[in-house]
Amino acid sequence: MSVISPGFTGRRRHDRDLPPGQYLTDGFPVLTYGPTPKVDLAEWNFGIVTETGATHGWGWEALQALPHETPHVDIHCVTKWSKLDTDWEGVSLDTLFENVETEAEYAKIYSYGGYTTNLPLEDLLDGKAWIAFGFDGEPLEAEHGGPARLLVPHLYFWKSAKWVRGIQLLTEDEPGFWEENGYHNYGDPWREQRYQGD
């Protein structure tokens, strides 16, 4: 039902398909609902808590001791920008879940600063997600979620929680911050799941 916009031609054509409604950017916009938390590496900790209460935790050095991967991915923000061919460094969630026994199907992500987001556990596994601490060959900057953020490139980027500190595994889904504030529960860019009801 799109109406034609009289006089609009559009300029930023590109060779590769983008999800619907997205435009390309070379910059790296920052979208966060509050001040940027400053997290001290000496106090940094990342934990996975299962539905039975079993806890698996890593300090910064323990995380760094795990095998690193260097995902090369496209990222898509619900605010319409997409950034192609981004280079990250991090640890696969598959590595962190190696010794985690769970029957849970849902994950709620917790961040330093109070942010939360939710997604099905299967969207974190099988090579689909990382705890990322490097971007473009440099340590991840605080405004982009450093020292470490979740990276789930196949979903809108609000699911890739910045300043990540833990994952709670749940047998029932529980909405996170933006999911309670009008945004879609799942957030698939290719199905343009921006807002509740999309």
Contacts to another protein by CB under 8 A: 1-13, 20-23, 25-37, 79-81, 113-114, 143, 177-178, 180-182, 194-198
Q: Are the beta carbons of 135 and 86 closer than 8 angstroms? A: yes
Name the residue nearer to another protein (CB basis): 52 or 79. Answer: 79
Which of 77, 48, 45 is closest to 144 using CA atoms?
77
Cα(73)–Cα(125) distance, rounded to whole angstroms?
A: 16
Burial 72-84 (b: 16+ CB within 10 A, else e): ebbbbbbeebbbe
Q: How far is the CB of 61 from another protein (least distance, A)?
A: 27
Q: Is 62 helix (H, G, I), strand (E, B) or coil?
A: helix
Which CB sits closer to another protein, 122 or 143? 143
Q: How far is the CB of 101 from another protein (least distance, A)?
A: 35
Alpha carbon distance 70, 108 (integer Å): 24
Decide whether 88 or 158 has the Cβ nearer to another protein: 158
Shortest Cβ distance from residue 131 to another protein (Å)? 23
Query: Least distance in Å: CB of 189 to another protein?
Result: 12
Q: Which is nearer to another protein, 112 or 130 (CB)?
A: 112
